[in-house]
Structure formats: C-alpha cells, structure tokens
Chain A
Amino acid sequence: MREKPGLLDYGRRWPLRLVMAAVGLFLYLPLVVLVVMSFNDSKRTTIWRGFTLDWYAAVFRDVELIQALVNSLTIAALSTLLSLGLGTLAAIALWRFRFPGRTLVQGGFALPIVVPEVCMGVALLIFFARVMPWPMGLPWPLSLGAIVIAHVAFSFPFVTVVVRARLASFDRAQEEAARDLGAGQWQALRDVVIPHLRPALLAGALLAFTLSLDDFVITFFTAGPDTVTFPVKVYSMVRFSVTPKVNAISTMLLLFTILLTFLALRLQARAEAEKRV
C-alpha cells in the first residue's frame, strides 16, 4: 500500500498541484506573452499576425533607445563596482569592530533598504539640486555621475547585508593564522578573508547590478535630459504606445539577465566543485 501523502507533499496532492500550476502561470505567463509578442508582425501588441524579426531590427535602429541601454549598463557596472567596495568595507567594519554607536551605524546602513523609493528619490533630487549640484554638460561617462551616486546609495546596503551574513561563518582563527605566519593586516584580509567572501561578493554584485539596471523611481528623479536610462526611456515610450519594439528590447534584456545569473551560478558551482575535488 502506498503511504498517504504528507500535508505538504506538493507533488502528490492534486489541489496543491493545481495551486502550484496556478502560481507558475501567474509568474511566467506575462513573460511568455511578452516574449511571444516581440515576434508579432503587427503594430498593435495584443493580436497575433505572424512571425517577424522587424522589431529587433527596429530596436537596433533606434539610437535613443540604444543610448539609454548603454547608459543603463554603464551606470549598473559603475555602481556595482562602487557598491561592492563600499558595502564590503562597511560589512567588515561592522563585523570586526565594537565601537560606540555601532548599532546606530548598522541601522543607518540598512535604512536605504526600507526607505520608500519615492522618498529616496525626492531626497536625492533635492540633494543634487541644492546641496551638491552635479555639473551639467560633462563628457559622457561623467555626466552619469549623479545617477551612479544615487544607485550606489541604495544598492550598497544590500551588498553589506549579504557580505555581513557570509562573514558570520568566517573562522577568525584563519585570519589569526595568516597573521601568525607573517602576514600584515592587509595581506591577511586579501589572502584569507576575501577568498572566504567570494560567493557573497558574487551574490552582492549580481544584486547591485540588477537593482541598478531596473531602477526606475530613483533614477527618474535624478536623471537629466541627456542622461536617460533604459527603464526611464521605456516608460516614456509606453506613455505614447506600447509597440512590440518595447517587447523586443525587454526580451533581450531578459535574456541578458538570465545569462548573467546562469553564469554566476556556474562560476559558483565550479568554485564549490574545486573545493571538493
């Protein structure tokens, strides 16, 4: 006789299977529609008229859209690098040192995670308007400075959280062993602590990159007329009409993100395997 299915034995109870299917549909159907419609040979997005790659070609002809995408990727890359550095240092400081007001500082670092994005956006808008205006008319990568700073401000706390969690599993004796064997403080950090943090650094970088890439609200407040990012551009396109061009570029972005995640997972799996073999 077969054992009765357990309470949470999802695969073996049909009502739960139904719920699972519904959830899956709810999560992925919109994406499937988005991808399918990017190949639709029609100006309207909702009715299927036949297969075409025209919209992909149209994307590559749209200089403004490409510029926005390049902007977004550049901003994401820069803010990821900065967030990674800043966030890791913050995590190490919080982990290593006991200082007065440590709890306050820790809370302060976590604040951007919980502050509503609109507030953050308005705050940054005022900051860049009144406190520290970002000079206008700078050459290209520098012109993105304000947005990069804004993105670092909201994404480095995520890096801090991830790295801090990883540090909790670090055996301090390893660092002491390095010091004992003749390493200075920096050498011990580089040779022992950083290698231990690698998976967290990877995860933090991915997090920071995706957060930056698809941020709309904060970017909207800080972007100038010549520094349009991809989400902001798509938003402005959608305000007129949702053309399959938007679908096409969204599909490409989706593919890019999946590829990136896949790559990161592969790298991590290989690192694990190297440790084991």
Chain B
Amino acid sequence: MPEAQAPRRTIIEFRHITKRFGPVTAVDDVSLTIEEGEFFALLGPSGCGKTTLLRMLAGFEMPTRGSILIDGKDITRAPPNARPVNMVFQSYAVFPHLDVMRNIEYGLRMEGAGTAERRERAEAALAMVQLEGYGDRMPDQLSGGQRQRVALARAIVKRPRVLLLDEPLSALDAKLREELRFELSALQDKLGITFVMVTHDQDEALALATRCAVMHKGSLMQVATPADLYEFPASRLVADFIGSVNLFEGRVEVDESDHAVIDLPEVGVKAWLDHGTGASGTVQIWLALRPEKVELHKRANGSGPPTMEGTPAGHNVLKGTILDIAYLGSESVYDVRLEGGKRVRVIRPNLTRWDQEDFTWDEEVWLGWHAEAAHVLLA
C-alpha cells in the first residue's frame, strides 16, 4: 500500500484539462497534481495523450478547457518563453548550426546574462552531464548519447522549476539507455528539480519515476508509485500495460478482513487470499497473477497437489502442461496450458547455471501461488 510520505508542496496542477484536435479528443478531463522534487512519469501507449499533456505544460499547445498552474500561478495561456519550465526534446533539437557551448548558452543569452556568467554556468552544466571539453564541438560530431546530454545541459542551465523530458531515452540503444537511466536519476538527486517525463516504456518509468500516471485514450487510468502500479494495479488495463499478467475471471465467495476465497470457474479452482478484497460477494472480479509469482512443481508419479504457503490444501494450485520454454539468460519464461485450455505464463529466475529441477517441454506440472501473491481487480 502507498507508503506515507512527508507532505510536500504542490508544484504543478492540471485542472480538468481537455484538449481537442478537431474531432479528436487527445486529453479528456485530466486533473493531476505533481509535487515538488518528484520524478513524475506520464506513461502510456502512443496516442494516449501523454505527450499532448507535456506539451501543454511547456506551452506548445493550449488546452481546449481547463487550466494549468505552476507554483499556484495560472500559466495556461502563457507563451513557452514565459514559463519556468524547460524541455528535453525527443529529437533533442540541438541547434545544428551552433557549437555545444553556444547551444547551452542560448537560453542564458535570451535571459540577457553577461558573457562571464554565461560561460561559467554553461561550463558547470557541461560538467554536470560529463561533457567537459566538448564546448567547441559541432552537434553532428557528437553521438546520439552526447547530443542527448547537450540537450539536457541546455535545459538545466536555465535552472527551471520543472524539467520536462519527452521520451528521453527512446532513441538510444539498450546499453546506453541503461547507463543514462542511472545518470538521469543521479542528476535529479543532485539538482533537486522536479522532473516530468513522458514515456511509453514501462521499464523506464518504473526504474526512474517516484510516481507514475498511466494514461489511456486521453484519460488517467491510475496515478501511483511504480511499486503500487505493479503490485496493486487498479484495473486489468493497467495490470496488462505494466508488465505481463495472468488474469482469471472470478467471484468472491468469502470476504473477511483477514482472508478471502475466490472461486475461479474458468479453471475450476478456488483461490485463497490473505487479505479481504473489499468487494461485495456477487460482483464479477478478476484475479491478477504476475508470472514471476507463480511456482512450478513436479507432478511426476502422480504426486498430489502441493500445499501453498498460507493457504488451506487444494487452494491456489492448478494442473497444467508445459507448452514452451523461453530461455532469457537471467530468467526463463514458461508457457503452461491448463487442463481447460487456458494458458498461464510463469517466470522463474535462473538461480543456478542449469535447471536443477529440469522442467522440460510437454511435462505435466502443478502451478501454485502464495496467499499474498494474487491481486483482485474490480475493473
């Protein structure tokens, strides 16, 4: 459940923001507050409205309805150059005809800063992104990752209240992406500036953000910490978008404060949870089970079902056959078909260099999960 945090100051406030492009509603009545010092991620598939929301914050789009406040000041209609925010563009948008130093100094020149101050602050920003000595390079002499850093330096040198990042890592290769991910995190710690990032990459959002908003078709689906998004998704949509998930239709049979029993008619088994669901007994619910929270057990010689930790015998176990195994190095993914035909995905970390239990194709297995492994979804 959400951890209690010291109350922080609200820095950004979206109030009932709607944005239409002709007949298309890109953002639909979104209200959201972001607190000072957060690393906030707007997460969603392409076309969900996350970029439009960011662009309205930067001043490149005007909302059709609603208002945006920064530090309590209404900046809904303010031009981009009159907002205390700076952006790192997806394409970086480094000025190709200016060298690195002049790129970084550009914003300071617009502020009317003197030559000495400009130079000093630009050098500091270059050092911050580890590009010392690159000041006289032209942008097309830089690699993608370096250009990215120039874009970052150019934005933070302005000391904005909020730094906006539009898909900051999407154009980089996997290795570099991981590296810059840590650097972005460290940079935010060092600067203490509020970061707002747009991304379609859930890994990126989970790894970087202190809080995420999941968007879908212009609406907010859920706003929560990465751990809460993953472990306590609010809906099937969020559960499915963040990581992968096994979903079972179910009906609440027993719902007490310290445990619940859920009938899963689809697979003919009852699930035992170590907490109440808060859902009244009759409604249709879904049981969400992350692949890494499902265990594989041998079924050799007709051995009976294992008893899962914290559950009465016969609960939380399913019979199945391994259809396929994908070896991914750090872990293996098992595609298991249940007796009724439903497929369940199981992930096991490869703790040793070869599988001690030697699960193999077409093997009949038991699937089981702990009392605290599954999560109930109401929508």
B-chain residues with CB within 8 Å of residue A174 when the two chains form the complex: 93, 95-96
Out of A180, A183, A191, A276, name the residue touching B87 (CB < 8 Å).
A180
| Majority DSSP secondary structure for residues of B touching A | mixed
Whether the pair B138, A275 counts as a contact (CB closer than 8 A) is yes
Question: Interface 1/0s, chain B 173-196, versus A by CB < 8 A?
Answer: 000000000000000000000000
Looking at B91, B110, B111, which has the most chain A CB atoms within 10 Å of its CB?
A: B110
Nearest chain A residue, comparing its CB with the CB of B97: A195
- Residues on A with C-beta less than 8 A from B154 are 177, 181
Inter-chain contacts of B80 with A (CB < 8 A): 176, 179-180
A179, B91: Cβ atoms closer than 8 Å:
no
User: Given A173-B90, A176-B89, A181-B106, does the pair A277, B158 have CB atoms closer than 8 Å?
Assistant: no
Q: Is A3 in the interface zone, CB < 8 Å from B?
A: no
Which residues of chain A are within 8 angstroms of B97 by Cβ–Cβ distance?
A: 195-196, 275
The 8 closest A-B CB pairs, nearest first, are A182-B110, A181-B107, A173-B93, A177-B93, A179-B80, A195-B97, A173-B89, A174-B93
Residues of A within 8 A of B107 (CB): 181-182
Interface pairs (13), CB distance under 8 Å: A171-B93, A177-B94, A177-B151, A179-B79, A181-B110, A181-B154, A184-B79, A184-B81, A191-B95, A275-B96, A275-B138, A275-B140, A277-B138
Chain B residues positioned under 8 Å from A196 (CB to CB) = 96-97
Contacts of B148 in A (CB 8 A): none
Residues of B near A182 (CB, < 8 A) are 81, 107, 110-111, 158
**A240 → B minimal CB distance (Å):** 54
B residues less than 8 Å from A277 (CB atoms): 138
The closest CB in chain A to the CB of B140 belongs to A275
B58 at the interface (CB under 8 A from A): yes
B86 within 8 A of A: yes
Listed residue (A180, A187, A275) with the most chain B CB atoms within 10 angstroms of its CB: A180
Task: Select one of B86, B111, B138, B141 contacting A180, CB under 8 A.
Answer: B86
Complex interface residues of chain B between 72 and 103 (CB less than 8 A to chain A): 79-81, 85-87, 89-91, 93-97
Residues from chain B with Cβ under 8 Å of A180 in the complex: 58-59, 80-81, 85-87, 155
Question: How many angstroms between the C-alpha atoms of A192 and B86 in the bound complex?
Answer: 17
Q: Judge whether A178 is part of the interface by a CB distance below 8 angstroms.
A: yes
Residues of A participating in the B interface, judged by any CB pair closer than 8 Å: 171, 173-174, 176-184, 187, 191-192, 195-196, 274-277
B60 within 8 A of A: yes
Closest Cβ neighbor of B105 among chain A residues: A181
Size category of the B interface is: 20 to 34
B positions within 8 Å CB-CB of A: 58-60, 79-81, 85-87, 89-91, 93-97, 106-107, 110-111, 138, 140-141, 151, 154-155, 158
Is B158 a contact partner of A181 (Cβ separation < 8 A)?
A: yes
Contact A171 B81 (CB under 8 A): no
Alpha-carbon distance between A208 and B372 when the two chains are bound, in angstroms:
77
List the B side residues contacting A275 at CB < 8 Å. 96-97, 138, 140
Cα distance A64–B96 when bound, in Å?
49
Residue of B nearest to A179 (CB): B80
B170 CB to nearest A CB, Å = 14
How distant is the Cα of A57 from the Cα of B138 in the complex, in angstroms? 51
| Cα distance A177–B93 in the bound complex, in angstroms | 7
- Structural contact, B95 and A187, CB atoms closer than 8 A: no
Please report the C-alpha to C-alpha distance between residue A92 and residue B255 in the assembled complex, in whole angstroms.
66
Residue of A nearest to B151 (CB): A177
A184 / chain B contacts, CB cutoff of 8 Å: 79, 81
Report chain B residues within 8 Å CB of A178: 95, 106
Q: How far is the CB of B344 from chain A (nearest CB, A)?
A: 44
Docked complex Cα distance between A17 and B106 (Å): 55
Residues of A within 8 A of B138 (CB): 274-277
Q: In the complex the two chains form, what is the Cα distance from A176 to B55 in whole Å? A: 10
